Protein backbone atom coordinates (compact mmCIF):
# COMPACT_ATOMS: atom_id res chain seq x y z
CA UNK A 1 0.00 0.00 0.00
CA UNK A 2 2.68 2.47 1.03
CA UNK A 3 4.52 1.97 -2.23
CA UNK A 4 1.55 3.27 -4.19
CA UNK A 5 0.95 6.93 -5.01
CA UNK A 6 -1.91 7.10 -2.53
CA UNK A 7 0.29 5.59 0.20
CA UNK A 8 3.07 8.09 -0.40
CA UNK A 9 0.60 10.98 -0.23
CA UNK A 10 -0.92 9.58 2.97
CA UNK A 11 2.44 9.21 4.69
CA UNK A 12 3.57 12.63 3.45
CA UNK A 13 0.34 14.27 4.65
CA UNK A 14 0.60 12.71 8.09
CA UNK A 15 4.27 13.64 8.27
CA UNK A 16 3.62 17.30 7.47
CA UNK A 17 0.77 17.36 10.01
CA UNK A 18 3.09 16.09 12.74
CA UNK A 19 5.81 18.55 11.68
CA UNK A 20 3.34 21.45 11.79
CA UNK A 21 2.16 20.37 15.25
CA UNK A 22 5.71 20.24 16.56
CA UNK A 23 6.75 23.59 15.03
CA UNK A 24 3.59 25.54 15.78
CA UNK A 25 2.51 23.98 19.09
CA UNK A 26 5.11 21.96 20.97
CA UNK A 27 8.13 24.20 20.37
CA UNK A 28 6.37 27.47 21.30
CA UNK A 29 4.81 25.77 24.34
CA UNK A 30 8.26 24.63 25.44
CA UNK A 31 9.75 28.10 24.96
CA UNK A 32 7.05 29.94 26.91
CA UNK A 33 6.24 27.28 29.51
CA UNK A 34 6.47 28.75 32.98
CA UNK A 35 6.49 32.37 31.77
CA UNK A 36 4.42 34.57 34.10
CA UNK A 37 1.02 35.65 32.85
CA UNK A 38 -0.26 39.09 33.76
CA UNK A 39 -3.42 39.17 35.87
CA UNK A 40 -6.21 41.75 35.75
CA UNK A 41 -4.60 43.56 38.68
CA UNK A 42 -1.25 43.61 36.89
CA UNK A 43 -2.83 45.09 33.76
CA UNK A 44 -4.68 47.73 35.77
CA UNK A 45 -1.50 48.69 37.60
CA UNK A 46 0.18 49.34 34.25
CA UNK A 47 -1.86 52.53 34.22
CA UNK A 48 -5.42 53.76 33.81
CA UNK A 49 -6.22 54.91 30.30
CA UNK A 50 -7.51 58.46 30.04
CA UNK A 51 -10.45 57.17 27.95
CA UNK A 52 -11.71 55.42 31.10
CA UNK A 53 -11.40 58.67 33.01
CA UNK A 54 -13.24 60.46 30.22
CA UNK A 55 -16.19 58.11 30.63
CA UNK A 56 -16.37 59.09 34.31
CA UNK A 57 -16.22 62.78 33.43
CA UNK A 58 -18.67 62.51 30.54
CA UNK A 59 -21.26 60.37 32.29
CA UNK A 60 -20.71 60.95 36.03
CA UNK A 61 -24.13 59.67 37.14
CA UNK A 62 -24.02 56.48 35.09
CA UNK A 63 -20.35 55.84 35.84
CA UNK A 64 -20.85 56.33 39.56
CA UNK A 65 -23.77 53.92 39.54
CA UNK A 66 -21.87 51.14 37.80
CA UNK A 67 -18.22 51.64 38.74
CA UNK A 68 -18.11 54.13 41.59
CA UNK A 69 -14.95 56.13 41.06
CA UNK A 70 -11.90 55.92 38.84
CA UNK A 71 -9.32 53.65 40.43
CA UNK A 72 -7.38 50.50 39.64
CA UNK A 73 -10.16 48.25 40.90
CA UNK A 74 -12.92 49.79 38.79
CA UNK A 75 -10.63 49.94 35.75
CA UNK A 76 -9.76 46.26 36.09
CA UNK A 77 -13.43 45.39 36.52
CA UNK A 78 -14.32 47.22 33.32
CA UNK A 79 -11.49 45.56 31.38
CA UNK A 80 -12.50 42.10 32.53
CA UNK A 81 -16.19 42.60 31.75
CA UNK A 82 -15.39 44.18 28.39
CA UNK A 83 -13.29 41.17 27.39
CA UNK A 84 -16.04 38.76 28.41
CA UNK A 85 -18.56 40.72 26.37
CA UNK A 86 -16.23 40.84 23.35
CA UNK A 87 -15.88 37.06 23.44
CA UNK A 88 -19.50 36.37 24.36
CA UNK A 89 -20.97 38.62 21.68
CA UNK A 90 -18.83 36.92 19.05
CA UNK A 91 -17.00 40.11 18.03
CA UNK A 92 -13.98 37.98 17.16
CA UNK A 93 -15.91 36.36 14.31
CA UNK A 94 -15.52 39.55 12.29
CA UNK A 95 -12.62 41.30 14.04
CA UNK A 96 -9.37 39.41 14.48
CA UNK A 97 -6.73 40.42 17.00
CA UNK A 98 -3.54 39.37 15.28
CA UNK A 99 -1.54 41.33 12.72
CA UNK A 100 0.38 38.93 10.53
CA UNK A 101 3.77 39.69 8.91
CA UNK A 102 2.31 39.33 5.41
CA UNK A 103 0.43 41.40 2.83
CA UNK A 104 1.53 44.73 4.32
CA UNK A 105 -0.83 44.18 7.25
CA UNK A 106 1.28 46.42 9.46
CA UNK A 107 0.66 49.30 7.05
CA UNK A 108 -3.08 48.91 7.50
CA UNK A 109 -3.42 48.10 11.19
CA UNK A 110 -0.15 48.94 12.92
CA UNK A 111 2.93 46.98 14.03
CA UNK A 112 2.80 43.21 13.61
CA UNK A 113 1.87 41.10 16.60
CA UNK A 114 4.42 39.40 18.87
CA UNK A 115 4.02 36.47 21.24
CA UNK A 116 4.75 38.47 24.41
CA UNK A 117 1.69 40.65 23.78
CA UNK A 118 -0.57 37.71 24.53
CA UNK A 119 0.84 36.76 27.94
CA UNK A 120 -2.07 38.07 30.00
CA UNK A 121 -5.49 36.82 31.07
CA UNK A 122 -7.30 39.14 28.65
CA UNK A 123 -5.73 37.28 25.74
CA UNK A 124 -7.36 33.99 26.68
CA UNK A 125 -8.81 32.61 24.53
CA UNK A 126 -6.61 33.98 21.78
CA UNK A 127 -8.67 35.81 19.17
CA UNK A 128 -6.43 35.47 16.14
CA UNK A 129 -9.36 34.81 13.82
CA UNK A 130 -9.43 33.94 10.15
CA UNK A 131 -12.08 36.38 8.88
CA UNK A 132 -11.95 40.16 8.71
CA UNK A 133 -15.42 41.33 7.89
CA UNK A 134 -14.35 44.32 9.97
CA UNK A 135 -10.82 45.61 10.63
CA UNK A 136 -8.33 43.95 12.95
CA UNK A 137 -8.67 45.52 16.42
CA UNK A 138 -5.45 44.60 18.23
CA UNK A 139 -4.22 48.19 17.66
CA UNK A 140 -7.60 49.90 18.01
CA UNK A 141 -6.87 51.78 21.24
CA UNK A 142 -6.87 55.61 20.87
CA UNK A 143 -7.58 55.50 17.13
CA UNK A 144 -11.07 56.87 17.71
CA UNK A 145 -12.77 58.79 20.50
CA UNK A 146 -15.17 57.38 23.08
CA UNK A 147 -17.98 59.27 21.38
CA UNK A 148 -17.23 57.54 18.09
CA UNK A 149 -17.44 54.13 19.72
CA UNK A 150 -20.66 55.09 21.51
CA UNK A 151 -22.28 56.04 18.22
CA UNK A 152 -20.85 52.95 16.53
CA UNK A 153 -22.26 50.51 19.07
CA UNK A 154 -25.62 52.27 19.17
CA UNK A 155 -26.05 52.55 15.39
CA UNK A 156 -23.01 51.46 13.35
CA UNK A 157 -24.20 52.96 10.07
CA UNK A 158 -24.30 56.41 11.66
CA UNK A 159 -20.49 56.53 11.48
CA UNK A 160 -19.77 53.83 8.88
CA UNK A 161 -22.57 53.91 6.30
CA UNK A 162 -21.56 50.58 4.69
CA UNK A 163 -21.22 48.73 8.01
CA UNK A 164 -22.89 45.31 8.37
CA UNK A 165 -22.33 45.27 12.13
CA UNK A 166 -25.52 44.81 14.19
CA UNK A 167 -26.72 47.42 16.67
CA UNK A 168 -25.85 46.82 20.31
CA UNK A 169 -28.54 48.89 21.98
CA UNK A 170 -28.44 46.71 25.08
CA UNK A 171 -25.17 48.47 25.84
CA UNK A 172 -27.23 51.59 26.63
CA UNK A 173 -29.85 52.65 29.14
CA UNK A 174 -33.33 53.98 28.40
CA UNK A 175 -31.98 57.49 27.84
CA UNK A 176 -29.36 56.36 25.34
CA UNK A 177 -26.33 56.64 27.62
CA UNK A 178 -23.83 53.77 27.87
CA UNK A 179 -24.61 51.40 30.71
CA UNK A 180 -22.18 49.17 32.61
CA UNK A 181 -21.75 46.83 29.64
CA UNK A 182 -21.33 49.69 27.18
CA UNK A 183 -18.66 51.38 29.28
CA UNK A 184 -16.86 48.08 29.78
CA UNK A 185 -16.81 47.32 26.07
CA UNK A 186 -15.49 50.78 25.21
CA UNK A 187 -12.81 50.49 27.91
CA UNK A 188 -11.67 47.12 26.55
CA UNK A 189 -11.60 48.34 22.94
CA UNK A 190 -9.61 51.44 23.93
CA UNK A 191 -7.16 49.23 25.83
CA UNK A 192 -6.24 47.11 22.81
CA UNK A 193 -2.71 47.96 21.73
CA UNK A 194 -2.07 50.44 24.54
CA UNK A 195 0.94 48.40 25.68
CA UNK A 196 2.91 49.32 22.55
CA UNK A 197 5.49 52.12 22.45
CA UNK A 198 3.82 53.39 19.27
CA UNK A 199 0.57 54.02 21.16
CA UNK A 200 -1.27 56.33 20.54
CA UNK A 201 0.59 57.44 17.39
CA UNK A 202 -0.60 54.70 15.06
CA UNK A 203 -1.07 57.00 12.11
CA UNK A 204 2.31 58.71 12.25
CA UNK A 205 1.00 61.97 13.66
CA UNK A 206 3.36 61.80 16.63
CA UNK A 207 7.16 61.72 17.04
CA UNK A 208 8.97 60.70 13.85
CA UNK A 209 12.00 59.07 15.49
CA UNK A 210 12.19 55.42 14.51
CA UNK A 211 12.15 53.23 17.60
CA UNK A 212 13.61 49.71 17.67
CA UNK A 213 11.26 46.78 18.14
CA UNK A 214 10.43 46.83 21.87
CA UNK A 215 11.04 43.94 24.19
CA UNK A 216 8.51 42.94 26.85
CA UNK A 217 10.44 44.74 29.59
CA UNK A 218 10.38 47.99 27.62
CA UNK A 219 6.68 48.12 26.93
CA UNK A 220 5.24 49.38 30.20
CA UNK A 221 3.26 52.43 29.18
CA UNK A 222 3.44 55.49 31.43
CA UNK A 223 -0.27 55.77 32.10
CA UNK A 224 -1.09 56.75 35.68
CA UNK A 225 -3.84 58.57 37.48
CA UNK A 226 -2.33 61.79 36.17
CA UNK A 227 -4.57 61.02 33.22
CA UNK A 228 -7.37 62.67 35.22
CA UNK A 229 -5.77 65.96 34.22
CA UNK A 230 -5.34 64.88 30.62
CA UNK A 231 -7.02 67.28 28.25
CA UNK A 232 -10.14 65.78 26.69
CA UNK A 233 -9.99 65.39 22.95
CA UNK A 234 -13.55 64.26 22.19
CA UNK A 235 -16.09 66.54 20.60
CA UNK A 236 -19.82 66.49 20.19
CA UNK A 237 -22.74 65.36 22.39
CA UNK A 238 -22.01 62.55 24.82
CA UNK A 239 -25.35 60.74 24.50
CA UNK A 240 -25.76 58.03 21.90
CA UNK A 241 -29.51 58.28 21.63
Give the 3-state secondary structure of 25-77. Answer: HHHHHHHHCCCCCECHHHHHHCCCCHHHHHHHHHCHHHHHHHHCCCCHHHHHH
Q: What average pLDDT does the chain have?
A: 86
Question: Does any domain span residue 97?
Answer: yes
Determine what percent of the chain is predicted with pLDDT higher than 70. Answer: 84
Q: Could you give the number of structural domains in the chain?
A: 2
Same domain, 193 and 114: yes
175: containing domain: 38-229
pLDDT-wise least confident of 9-23, 136-150, 225-239:
225-239
Same domain, 55 and 117: yes
Same domain, 218 and 112: yes
HSE, side-chain direction, 13 A CA sphere, residue 130: 0
Give residue-wise pLDDT tens across range 66-78: 999 999 999 999 9
Q: What is the pLDDT of residue 210?
A: 52
Give residue-wise pLDDT tens across range 33-60: 788 899 999 999 999 999 999 999 999 9
The overall pTM is greater than 0.75:
yes
Residue 181 above 80 pLDDT?
A: yes
Rounded to whole angstroms, the Cα distance separating 78 from 63 reads 11
Same domain, 16 and 109: no
Higher model confidence: residue 193 or residue 241? Answer: 193
CA distance readout (Å), 225 to 53, 60, 73, 211, 228: 9, 17, 13, 26, 6
Q: What is the pLDDT of residue 213?
A: 53
Amino acid sequence: MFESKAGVLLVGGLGFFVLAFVVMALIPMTIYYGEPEKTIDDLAQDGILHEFTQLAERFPEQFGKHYGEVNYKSYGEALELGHKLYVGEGCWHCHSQYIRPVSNEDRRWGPRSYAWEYQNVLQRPVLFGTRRVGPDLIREGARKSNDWHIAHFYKPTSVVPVSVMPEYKWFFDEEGYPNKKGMAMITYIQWLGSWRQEYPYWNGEGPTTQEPTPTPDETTVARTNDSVDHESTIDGHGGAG
